[in-house]
C-alpha cells in the first residue's frame, strides 16, 4: 500500500497545487482556459496518438472491453437518472448528474496515473473507454437533458450539438489516427515524432495542474454567483438566491461514481468472462481502475453550457476528487 501511495501522491499533489494556485490568485482565472486549450488541443491528443500508434490494433478494437464498459456506463446513467427523477429533479439536472457519475477523469488523470501503476499495456483499454464516453455516454446524457418541455425535437437537437462537439474535439481524431498508424505500420519522420513526443510528455503535469485550477475556479464562481443572487434578493429585485444542492443528492451521486461504478464494472467483467467473453486480466484491472477514478472535470463546463446547475456538478467533481485520494490506492490494492 505504501508503494501505491508513493506512486499516486505526486498526481494528487499536482491537482492540489493547481487548486491552491487558482484559489490564492497566483494563477489568474483568465489563464485557465489557455491551460485547458493546451491540454485538450495539443498535449493530450499527442499522448493519445502515441499510445494508439504503439499499441497492437487488436487491443484498440477489443470488443470485450467495449461491451463491458458500455454496459456499465449505460446502467450507471440509467440508475442515476431514475434516482434523480424520484427526487423530483428536472431532466437537465438528472442528466448531468448521470454524466458526472458515469464519466471518469480518464483523459486528464487516468492515463498518466494508470500507466505509472500498470505500465503501457493499460493505455489500450483506457483509449476504448475514452472513445465510448466521449461519443456515446456524453451524447446520451446531453440528449436526456433536453427533455424538459422540449420533447423529442429538443433531445434530437441536443444530440446533434453533442455530435458536432465530438467532431470538433481533437481527441477522437488522435485516437483514430493512432489506430491507423498502428494498423498500417507507418513511421513518422524523426522531427515530427520528437515534436509529438515532447507535447505528449507535457500532457500529464499540465493536465493534473489544470484539474485543480478548474475545480478552484468552479468553487469561486459558484460562491460569487450565490453572493450576487443574495444581494439582488435582499434589494428586492425579484431575483431569488439559488437553493443549495441537498447533501443527500451530492452524496448519492458521488457514491455511485466512487463505489457503485467500479464494483459494477468488476462484477460485469467477471460475469462476462465466466460466460466466455474474451477479456484479458490486464484489461479487466485497467477498466475497473478507470471506473474508480473521480468524475471528469469537463462535465461542469458542459453543465454550465446547457443551463444545468454547474455548482452542483462542480461540488460532486470536487468531492470525488478528494475521495479518490483515499479510495483509489485502496482500489488498486484490491483489484490487483
Report yes or no: 35 and 213 within 8 Å, Cβ to Cβ.
yes
Percent of the chain with pLDDT over 70: 88
Burial of residue 244 (number of CB atoms within 10 Å: 0-12, 13-18, 19+): exposed
pLDDT digits (tens, 9 = 90+) for 111-152: 889 998 998 888 899 999 998 998 889 888 988 888 876 555
- Please give the residue that has the higher pLDDT: either 239 or 66: 66
Q: Which domain holds residue 101?
A: 2-335
| pLDDT of res. 153 | 60
pLDDT digits (tens, 9 = 90+) for 300-336: 878 877 888 888 888 899 899 999 999 999 999 888 7
User: Cβ of 52: how many Cβ atoms within 10 Å?
Assistant: 24
> Could you tell me the three cell numbers for 90?
428536472
| pLDDT of res. 231 | 65
Task: Give dist(CA 248, CA 56) in Å, integer.
Answer: 45
Task: Give dist(CA 16, CA 221) in Å, integer.
Answer: 18
Work out the pLDDT band at 266, boundaries 50, 70, 90: very high
Task: Give dist(CA 295, CA 224) in Å, integer.
Answer: 23
Q: What is the pTM (predicted TM-score) of this model? A: 0.82
Task: Give dist(CA 92, CA 243) in Å, integer.
Answer: 16
Specify the number of domains making up the chain.
Answer: 1
Residue 22's alpha-carbon distances to 65, 82, 165, in angstroms, are: 37, 36, 27
Q: Which CATH number characterizes residue 263's domain? A: 1.20.1530.20
Amino acid at each position: 500500500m505504501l508503494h501505491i501511495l508513493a506512486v499516486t501522491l505526486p498526481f494528487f499533489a499536482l491537482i492540489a497545487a493547481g487548486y491552491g494556485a487558482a484559489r490564492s490568485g497566483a494563477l489568474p482565472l483568465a489563464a485557465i482556459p489557455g491551460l485547458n486549450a493546451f491540454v485538450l488541443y495539443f498535449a493530450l491528443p499527442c499522448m493519445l496518438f502515441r499510445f494508439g500508434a504503439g499499441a497492437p490494433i487488436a487491443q484498440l478494437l477489443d470488443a470485450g472491453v467495449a461491451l463491458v464498459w458500455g454496459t456499465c456506463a449505460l446502467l450507471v446513467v440509467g440508475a442515476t437518472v431514475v434516482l434523480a427523477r424520484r427526487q423530483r429533479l428536472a431532466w437537465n439536472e438528472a442528466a448531468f448528474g448521470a454524466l458526472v457519475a458515469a464519466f471518469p477523469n480518464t483523459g486528464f488523470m487516468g492515463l498518466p496515473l494508470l500507466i505509472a501503476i500498470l505500465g503501457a499495456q493499460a493505455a489500450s483499454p483506457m483509449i476504448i473507454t475514452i472513445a465510448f464516453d466521449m461519443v456515446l455516454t456524453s451524447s446520451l446524457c446531453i440528449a436526456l437533458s433536453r427533455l424538459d418541455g422540449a420533447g423529442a425535437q429538443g433531445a434530437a437537437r441536443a444530440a446533434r450539438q453533442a455530435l458536432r462537439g465530438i467532431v470538433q474535439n481533437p481527441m477522437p481524431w488522435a485516437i483514430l489516427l493512432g489506430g491507423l498508424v498502428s494498423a498500417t505500420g507507418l513511421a513518422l519522420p524523426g522531427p515530427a515524432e520528437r515534436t509529438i513526443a515532447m507535447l505528449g510528455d507535457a500532457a500529464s503535469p499540465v493536465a493534473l495542474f489544470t484539474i485543480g485550477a478548474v475545480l478552484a475556479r468552479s468553487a469561486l464562481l459558484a460562491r460569487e454567483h450565490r453572493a450576487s443572487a443574495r444581494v439582488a434578493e435582499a434589494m428586492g429585485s425579484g431575483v431569488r438566491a439559488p437553493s443549495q444542492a441537498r447533501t443527500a443528492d451530492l452524496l448519492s451521486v458521488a457514491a455511485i461514481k466512487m463505489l457503485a461504478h467500479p464494483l459494477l464494472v468488476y462484477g460485469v467483467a467477471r460475469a462476462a468472462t465466466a460466460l466466455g467473453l474474451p477479456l484479458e486480466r490486464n484489461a479487466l484491472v485497467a477498466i475497473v481502475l478507470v471506473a474508480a477514478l473521480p468524475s471528469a472535470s469537463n462535465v461542469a463546463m458542459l453543465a454550465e453550457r446547457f443551463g444545468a446547475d454547474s455548482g452542483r456538478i462542480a461540488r460532486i467533481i470536487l468531492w470525488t476528487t478528494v475521495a479518490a485520494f483515499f479510495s483509489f490506492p485502496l482500489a488498486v490494492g484490491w483489484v490487483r
